[in-house]
Structures are given as structure tokens and as C-alpha cells.
Structure 1
Amino acid sequence: MPAPHTEPPHHILPLPDGDLHYTQAGVGAGTPILLIHGSLCDYRYWRWQMPAFADTRRVIAPSLRGCWPDAQTHPQTTYAIDGHAGDLAHLLRALDEHGGAHVIGHSRGAQVALALAIQAPGLCRSLTLADPGFRFADEPETPVFYADAVQRLRDGDTEGAIEQFIDTVNGTDTWRKMVGWFKDMVRDNAATLLSQIQEANLPVAPRDAAALSCPLLLITGANSPAKYGTRLERLHQLLPQAGRVRIALASHGMNLANPRAFNRAVLDFVANV
């Protein structure tokens, strides 16, 4: 079982046009770990990773701008992949981590992580992408799976919007079964979908992905929806040297469903970089 949870310390980094909220833990030597959450989440998403990674390393987890506790009105133009990546580069430099970090991104956060690696390769010592869902530029645009959720938000049906989104990415009836802290986090970030849809189908250039020079680990849940598997297959074709891990007994939220296996996979990977 994971260690008992305690609330992480909260920090605020002033940026030229706003603030970035983050938490950090650990004082281990060597390259730190940077955790990047996905849709409807914030740094609380990593509740079972922060203490495990902090045993041996410094671990940094931001809440992307526009997410809790940075309560803002959505939609907003600053809620964007490239903008998030720029914020995180600023954060690493502000924390005097000019040598970079082991960057881990989940879902939408995986696209942010990839953008960071492309924008500032010197800050990315390794890259771990957990169930990325982005489209490649040579692929056609696809229907936005959360378009119905966004419409429900606009109509005032926040709970229905959340249920549609969570059940689509994790499986039917997932939202109903989720624990209280997770539901609180998702409700706090529900409005971000109003901004996120403005960047729906934002593509990644295959040449940019293929040009990555840092070590790469690709992670999925054994029960993750098939669309995430197609993204990992394409990335592996572009970067055949990448490592791959399937987390047993888990779907899209594999770091919560099976944190012991997820943490072990990540720590084994970064230990050998």
C-alpha cells in the first residue's frame, strides 16, 4: 500500500504575466523529476508519486496555469500547450535546475512534456510519456471526444460533463466509483475543458518527435483505451530505441490504479539514464 498521504507544501512562482503554483519534495542528489498532470487535474494528481520519488530525488509537480488553485475564468488563451511548456522551462531555471529534469507527462501533460523537450532540449534529461493522446500532423483531425462534455459545461451540467470525460478515458462507470479526493480535484478543474477545446487536435510534427535526443520511456495501462496505444505505437516507430512498459491492472490513470508498478517503472528508468 502507498504511504499515508499528507498535503504537500505549496509554492508560487511569479511569472511575467501571472503565477505558477507548484509543490516539491525531496532533497536527493542528482537530476530531479518533473511531473506534468493531464486534463481536469493539478499537482494533487501525483499524490502516490510525490512521496515515493522524494525518497531518493527532488521531485517537482506544478499545477499548469489555469488549473487549481489558480482559479480563473475559462475559456482563456493562456491555457495552451506551448505556453505551459514555456512556464515549466521558466520554473526549472528559477529553481536553479539548469541541468534539466527527468520529465514525466500524463495524457494532455504528455503533450506538454513533449513540447518542453522540443522547446528546451537542454532541460529534458529524459522523457516519460504516459498515455499521450495527441494527433500527429500527417493524420486527419478526429472528432473531439469531449465535445459533449464541453456542451454540458456550457449548459451548466458540470457533473454530467465530468462523468462523460472520465468514463471515456478510463472506462464506463469510473467516475461513480472514484474516491472523494479525486472527485474534488476534477470538479475544481472542470472549467478548464472550456479552454482545452480551443486547442483540440493540436498536432505534433513527426519530425519533431523523431528528432528527440533524450532517453524516452512510453507507458500505458493494460486496460487503457485503444487510441492511446496507437499513439505509443507511432512514437515507437519514430523512436525505436524508446523503452515501453504496460502497467497491469490499470487503465488510463495507471499511476493511481497501480502506483507501485508505475513508480517502479519510472524509478528504474531514470536510474539508468
Structure 2
Amino acid sequence: MKTLSVNGCDMAYLDLGHGKPLVCVHGSLNDFRAWTPVLKPLSTGRRMIVPSLRHYFPGTCSGTEATFTMAQHVEDVIAFIEALEVGAVDLCGHSRGGHLAFRLALKRPDLVDRLVLAEPGGALDDTLMPTDGVDLGAGAGTRAHVAQSAEKIAAGDLEGGLRVFIEGINGPGAWDRLPAADRQMREDNATTLLAQVNEGRLPFSRAEAEAVTRPTLFIGGADTPGMLPVVLRALAAHVPGAKTAILADAGHSMFRQQPRAFCEAVLGFLGTSA
């Protein structure tokens, strides 16, 4: 593990392999450990750089930090990439990290060569909301599960809060199916949900999707329920030239559930064989 000081924060990160840099940004309740199943294949023939965002493990979070915002995390990753002094990187973001990567690519396209968005998290504004009668439900991708989870965690029910969040993303029973190491990572980052409730994440708009200039790949899990697949399809339909890969027998944690298929899709898009 290395650290890099950016914007007054020491960001911990993993740095593996050699070659063109691929920066991977984790999602909610995750940190650099999330990418463990794909570290070897994605760092073969290229350099894979995996940071933990501000206030995530091994950092700390009380849940009240004013610096826990989406805008701050975008600025942190911008400063992180600049501090690496490697020029433009390939950028991959998952879930909340996918939202971050989308915002970064809009704000600083000069820092991004190719963009991979693995089920980016967030809401759609009216310009992207589907009108074909699709049932949006109350599951993955809504903000309700974040507030419900934070309420339980604030009241001292750590496992109950994490269960609500994980099952709000992946459906009933998802928490019980998590391996021990994945549960531990969520527990280590549980208090970030308290801050995430008021992180200032803005909805995606059609104008923003159409303004993305970098070659973009969207990756989703065929079994992901709720709103996340709706968000993916809406963005992919309007990002110019976007490609889409949907992985069979996978949900929102697709790179942990189907690491080989995930790496084949990513490396194929980036121009490196798996």
C-alpha cells in the first residue's frame, strides 16, 4: 500500500504492474480491497492504480465530515491523477465510483483516455427518465435504502443498516450470501453511509451524457435488480459512441461474481487481451 497527499488528505492506494495506467474507483461501503478479484488480470501488461477515497478505509469517518461530498471526491481523484504525473489514464468506476468517474470525465476530459462505468450509481433527471412504462420499483439505485441504512447505523444497529443497504442494491438475501471478507469491508466503511446521505450527488441529465467525449464502456450485471440497469441503459443511449457489456450470472458486484468475464470486457475495450 502507498499513500499520496492530495487536497490535504493522504489517499491510500495500491499500485501494481507496469504500462499504461488504469485507475479504478470503488463504490459505496468499499475501498481499494474491493478490486482484489481482478487485480492480477487487470495489472498484467498495464499499471493498475486503485485508491481508497477520502474517509474510506484505511481512513476514518465519523459520518459528520463536511468534506464527504461527491464534489470533493471528484476533486480528490482529479488531484490524485495529476499527482501521479502520468498524463491521461484509463478510468474505471463502479457504482458510486462510476458516478464519480462520469463527473470527472466531464470536468477534466484531458485526464481520461478511455472510460469504463460499471453500473454507475445515481438518479436520473426528467430528461433521461424512461417513458416506456418500465417499472422503476423501489430497489437498487434509489436513495431510500441509503437513508434507511444510515438511520439504523446511527442507532447502533450496524448489521441491520448494512443489510438494508446491500439488499437494497442486490435484492433479498444478498447480505447473508456475502463472504466474510466482503462483510468486513462493509463494516469497516459503515459510517460513510451517515455522511453519504447528504453528499450532494446530482442526478444525471441527458445534456451531460451527450457531453461525454471520451470512448466509454458501460458494464452491467444481467441479474442486477431495480434502478441501476435503468440508469445504465439511459446513459448508454446518449453517451456518444458508447459500448455496453452485460455479464451473465452477475449482479451489481459483477467483477467479484464474474471476474474473468469482467476483465475480458474491460481489457477488450481498452485494447489489451485478458
How far is 1:95 from its partner? 1.3
The 8 Å contact of residues 220 and 247 in structure 1, kept in 2 or not, is answered as yes
In structure 2, the residue matched to 1:79 is 68
**8 Å contact kept, 1:144–1:201:** no
The number of aligned residues is 260
1:130 is aligned, of 104, 115, 118, to 118
Give the superposition deviation at 1:143.
Answer: 5.2
For 1:145 and 1:241, the matched residues in 2 are separated by 33
Q: Which runs of 5+ in 2 are unaligned?
A: 130-141
- CA deviation after TM superposition for structure 1 residue 137, in Å: 3.5
Q: Would you say 1:23 and 2:11 are equivalent positions? A: no
Q: TM-score, normalised by structure 1?
A: 0.90
Aligned match of 1:66 in 55, 62, 72? 55
2:90 maps to 102
Residue in 2 that maps onto 1:33: 22
Task: Give identity over the alignment, percent.
Answer: 34
Deviations 1:41-85 (A, max 9, x none): 000000012111111100000001010001132121211112111
Alignment of 1:252-263 (within 5 A): 252-263=252-263
Q: CA RMSD in A?
A: 1.8
- The alpha carbon displacement at 1:209 in A equals 2.0
Q: Structure 1: any 5+ residue segments left out of the alignment? A: 1-9
Contact kept in structure 1, 2:170 and 2:252, CA below 8 Å: yes
- The aligned amino acid for 2:30 is C
Kept after mapping to 1: 8 A contact 2:70/2:201: no
Pairwise CA distance, 1:201: 5.5
Contact map agreement 1:81 1:115 (CA 8 A) in 2: no
Report deviation, 1:40.
Answer: 0.2
Q: Counterparts in 2 of 1:1-273, with a 5 A limit?
A: 10-28=1-19, 31-98=20-87, 100-138=88-126, 144-199=144-199, 202-239=202-239, 241-271=241-271
Deviation at 1:225, TM superposition (A): 1.3
Deviations 1:192-217 (A, max 9, x none): 00011103662233312211111010
CA distance 1:110–1:14, change in 2 (3 Å): same
CA distance in 1, matches of 2:203, 2:252: 21
Deviations, residues 128-165 of structure 1 (Å, cap 9, x unaligned) = 1111121234368x652222111101110001000111
- C-alpha distance in structure 2 between counterparts of 1:25 and 1:55, whole Å: 9
Q: Which moved more, 1:73-82 or 1:117-126?
A: 73-82
Aligned residue for 1:51, secondary structure, equals helix
When structure 1 is superposed on structure 2, of 69-78 and 178-187 the one drifting more is 69-78
Alignment partner, residue 6 of structure 1 = none
Paired letter, 1:18: C
C-alpha distance in structure 1 between counterparts of 2:241 and 2:82, whole Å: 29
2:139 corresponds to: none
Q: In 1, distance between residues paired with 2:230 and 2:219? A: 12
> Structure 1 pair 23/143, CA: closer, same or farther in 2 (3 Å)?
closer
Structure 1 residues 86 and 169: CA distance shift in structure 2, 3 A = same
Q: Whole-Å Cα distance in 1 between the matches of residues 2 and 143 of structure 2?
A: 38
CA distance in 2, matches of 1:76, 1:225: 31
Secondary structure of residue in 2 paired with 1:19: strand
How big is each residue's C-alpha offset from its partner over 1:94-121, in whole Å with a ceiling of 9 and x where there is no partner? 11112x1111111111111011111211
C-alpha distance in structure 2 between counterparts of 1:253 and 1:27, whole Å: 26
Alpha carbons 2:70, 2:200 under 8 Å: kept: no
Cα contact 1:146–1:165 (8 A) shared by 2: yes
Cα 1:221/1:85, change in 2 over 3 Å: same
Deviation at 1:171, TM superposition (A): 2.0
The DSSP-based 3-state class of the residue aligned with 2:191 is helix
Compute the displacement of 1:226 (Å).
Answer: 3.2
Q: 1:18 to 1:200 in 2, by over 3 A?
A: closer
Q: 2:10 is matched by which residue type in structure 1?
A: D
